[in-house]
C-alpha cells in the first residue's frame, strides 16, 4: 500500500509540458513571417505601378489619335455647357402697378459623356421647360429676382425636374446674361 500513496505525490509534483509555451509563440511567428512574405511578393512596387499607369496612358493616347497625328483626349468627367434658350418674360409683380421684364439667356452644365443626351432631352422637352420658366419667374418675388443665387436655384430645380434622367445628366445651370427691368 505504500506504493499507491507515492504515485499521487509524483503526479502532483511533475512539471507541466513546455510544448504549449513553445507552440503558441511559434505559431504567431510563423503567421507574421508568412504575411511578410506575401506582402513582399504579392504587392507591386512603385515602379511596377508607374509602368502600368504609363502603359495605360500610352494606350489611351494611341486610341484617341487621329490619322493626321493630332491627339484628341477628352475627359468624360469634364463639365460642358449647352444653350437652353433665351427668355424674355413680362409680368406684374404682386403689389405693383407697373410691368417688369426679365431677360436671361440660360445654359445648362453637363458631363462631357452626357452632353449629347442632355441636348437631345432639352430639344425634346423645350416647350415644357419654357412654360415652367414663365411660371417660375411670374411666381417669384422681386427679392427672388434681384438675387441671382435664389433664382438660379429655382431654375435649376425646375430644369432638373423637366430634364429628369437616371442618372441625372444636368449638373447645373447658369445665366449668360440676366436683366430685370421696370417698364
The confidence score (pLDDT) of residue 145 equals 83
Type and span of the H or E element at 104: strand 100-111
The yes-or-no verdict on residue 66 having pLDDT over 90 is: no
The domain over range 79-182 is classified in CATH as 3.30.479: yes
The confidence score (pLDDT) of residue 28 equals 94
Q: Which residue has the higher pLDDT, 138 or 20?
A: 138
Convert the pLDDT of each residue in 92-141 to its tens digit: 877 778 888 999 999 999 988 888 988 999 999 999 999 998 888 888 88
Convert the pLDDT of each residue in 153-177 to its tens digit: 888 999 888 888 778 888 899 998 9
The confidence score (pLDDT) of residue 107 equals 92
Write phi, then psi, for 43 (nearest 5 degrees).
-85, 130
Contact present, 94 and 131 (Cβ < 8 Å) = no
Contact present, 121 and 110 (Cβ < 8 Å) = no
Q: Which residue has the higher pLDDT, 5 or 81?
A: 81
Please state the rounded mean pLDDT for residues 31-56.
Answer: 89
Q: What's the CA gap between 128 and 62, in Å, rounded?
A: 43
Residue ranges covered by each domain of the chain: 16-73, 79-182
Q: Sheet containing 100-111: give its strands across.
A: 79-91, 100-111, 172-182
Amino acid at each position: 500500500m505504500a506504493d499507491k500513496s507515492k504515485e499521487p505525490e509524483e503526479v502532483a509534483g511533475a512539471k507541466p509540458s513546455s510544448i504549449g509555451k513553445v507552440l503558441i509563440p511559434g505559431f504567431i511567428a510563423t503567421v507574421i513571417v508568412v504575411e511578410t512574405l506575401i506582402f513582399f511578393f504579392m504587392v507591386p512596387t512603385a515602379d511596377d505601378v508607374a509602368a502600368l499607369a504609363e502603359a495605360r496612358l500610352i494606350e489611351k493616347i494611341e486610341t484617341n489619335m487621329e490619322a493626321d497625328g493630332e491627339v484628341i483626349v477628352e475627359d468624360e468627367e469634364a463639365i460642358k455647357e449647352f444653350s437652353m434658350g433665351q427668355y424674355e418674360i413680362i409680368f406684374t409683380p404682386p403689389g405693383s402697378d407697373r410691368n417688369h421684364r426679365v431677360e436671361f439667356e440660360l445654359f445648362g452644365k453637363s458631363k462631357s459623356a452626357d452632353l449629347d443626351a442632355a441636348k437631345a432631352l432639352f430639344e425634346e422637352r423645350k416647350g415644357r421647360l419654357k412654360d415652367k420658366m414663365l411660371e417660375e419667374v411670374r411666381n417669384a418675388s422681386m427679392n427672388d429676382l434681384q438675387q441671382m443665387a435664389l433664382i438660379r436655384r429655382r431654375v435649376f430645380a425646375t430644369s432638373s425636374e423637366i430634364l429628369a434622367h437616371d442618372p441625372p445628366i444636368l449638373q447645373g445651370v447658369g445665366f449668360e446674361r440676366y436683366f430685370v427691368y421696370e417698364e
